[in-house]
Amino acid sequence: MKKISKSVGKGGKNASEDVKVIQELLNGFAQMGGYAKLKVDGVSGKKTIAAINAFQIKVMGGKADGRVDPGKNTIKALNVKPAAAKKEADVKKKEEATAKKAGGDKKPAANAKNLSGKAWFSANQSKYPNSNAISDLDGSFKSKVTDFQKALKAAGVSIKVSSTLRNEKRAAIMHWAFKVAKGKTKPKDVPKIAGVDINFDHGDDKVSIAKAKEMVGPNGFNIKYQPSLTSLHISGKAIDWTLGWSGDLTIKNKKGEDVVIKSSPKDGTNTELHVVGKTYGVIKLVKDKPHWSINGK
Binding site for another protein (CB under 8 A): 130, 163, 166, 171, 174, 217-218, 221-228, 230-234, 240, 285, 287-291, 297
- C-alpha distances in Å from residue 95, one per residue of 30, 36, 109, 200: 19, 22, 8, 13
Distance of CA 55 to the CA centre of its chain: 18
Which one, 203 or 227, has the nearer CB to another protein? 227
Cα angle vertex 218, ends 31, 195, to 5°?
A: 50
Closest distance of CB 224 from another protein, Å: 4
Distance CA 131, CA 145 (A): 15
From the list 234, 190, 230, the residue with the least C-alpha distance to 211 is 190
Closest distance of CB 218 from another protein, Å: 4
Closest distance of CB 290 from another protein, Å: 6
- C-alpha distances in Å from residue 101, one per residue of 97, 204, 210, 294: 6, 12, 22, 55
Closest distance of CB 288 from another protein, Å: 5
Which one, 109 or 294, has the nearer CB to another protein? 294
Which one, 193 or 234, has the nearer CB to another protein? 234
Which one, 66 or 220, has the nearer CB to another protein? 220
Distance CA 233, CA 297 (A): 10
Which one, 40 or 285, has the nearer CB to another protein? 285
Closest distance of CB 225 from another protein, Å: 5
Distance CA 229, CA 169 (A): 9
